[in-house]
Amino acid sequence: MNPIRTLATAAAAVLALSGASFAQDAIKIGEINHYKRMAAFAGPYKMGIELALKEINDAGGVLGKPLEFIFRDDDGQPGDAVKIANELMTRDGAVMVTGSILSNVGLAISSLAAEKGFIYLAAEPLADSLVWKAGNPYTFRLRTSTWVQAAMLAEEAAKTDAVRYATIAPNYAYGTDAVEAFKAALKKLKPEVEFVTEQWPALFKIDAGAEVQAIESAKPDAIYNVTFGSDLAKFVREGTTRGVFDGRQVYGLLTGEPEYLDPLGDEAPEGWVVTGYPWYDLPDGPGKDFVDAYQAATGETPKIGSLVGYMTAQSIAAAITRAGATDTPALLAAFKDLKVETPLGEITYRGLDHQSTMGAYVGTTALKDGHGVMVDWEYRSPEPYMPSDDEIKAMRPAE
């Protein structure tokens, strides 16, 4: 039995007996995500939020009121997400909205937030245009910048003799941003590199055989992979079968995240340099405390989604506490340069671009007990990898 779900059921029963005063007094947050379409990430993400909410509300809530999330499913469709966001703000009494995994959905919600004048905390969408080229005063982003994670991998790639690179990425905002960032960072560190082929499969519709064949035909020295989920599984299987990874270093954005590495089982690739989440190897401290609390509450091992969900609720509670109110102007002021204590240590939502300073784990994939893990990893802060303030100001629309 899931303790968090049991708690939620008990709370609902108490509400039914005591009237609607609790619900009316609660501070409501609208949460929009792809719970059916991307359950492997969204399910743990929701449980991370629920764990944080329990801790927050057990400690007295926020501004003396309970914090409540209204969870809605958009099926990964930008149009549905926009409709739901509008309903949450105008009908359901939410003071702000958060969520989304897919960047195209996050960008749609962000655009609506700017149009309607409400706050959107993009918890997971990775396209950097959210806070840079398409940034707006009402959108903030928690998850580590795509640019930063790509630059971390480029730093490792620059240490090798590889010159000819192949890339493969899903053909939407996140994928294009991830390839652009890696190319820019690597060329800056090693100008002689060349990109001999770029593969752009449709999201979750990869023709892995054709993609692998195209990469092999280009004869690269190394491969930069941005696929994830079912696309990653197909790419790994086909690439391993055809030997395309043999003798080539592979760099995998997000490949070390448990959501995507665990399903590969004993087919997980070895020796890839990746970003991810080695929860199973964390030392004592806030990160390990979160892992232990999450496992005790859910009976499951944490995913990166679990951590992002937990930090999302922490961030929102911290912003409301700092604001001392729930109106949009107060929350906007509170979010800028907001500092939040998290399992990764203190992060800051930079006033410059509304991007948090959440970092990333970088390591190498290996097989252990029949499944993939990250080894030789380290947690890296994002600041050394970010564009300069002047570069960001040039990209970001004037406010």
Residue 326: CATH number of its domain: 3.40.50.2300
| Domain carrying residue 306 | 3-145+283-359
Closest CA to 232 of 198, 269, 195, 266: 269
Same domain, 169 and 246: yes
pLDDT (0 to 100) of residue 40 = 87
Query: Which tokens sit at 209?
Result: 């055989």
Q: Has residue 399 been placed in a domain?
A: no
CA distances from 93 to 74, 300, 329 (A): 18, 32, 16
**Scanning the structure block, which residue is given the tokens 């991370």?**
48
Q: Has residue 287 been placed in a domain?
A: yes
pTM, two decimals, is: 0.91
Q: Over the chain (399 residues), what is each successive 10-residue block's mean pLDDT?
A: 40 37 75 93 96 98 98 96 97 97 95 97 94 96 96 98 98 93 98 98 96 98 96 97 97 96 96 98 98 98 97 98 98 98 98 97 97 97 95 90
> What is the number of domains present in the chain?
2
**Scanning the structure block, which residue is given the tokens 């800056």?**
188
Helix (H, G, I), strand (E, B) or coil at 131: coil
pLDDT (0 to 100) of residue 22 = 41
Same domain, 383 and 238: yes
pLDDT (0 to 100) of residue 399 = 74
pLDDT (0 to 100) of residue 388 = 94
Same domain, 268 and 370: yes
**Is the separation of the CB atoms in 89 and 30 below 8 Å?**
yes
pLDDT (0 to 100) of residue 1 = 40
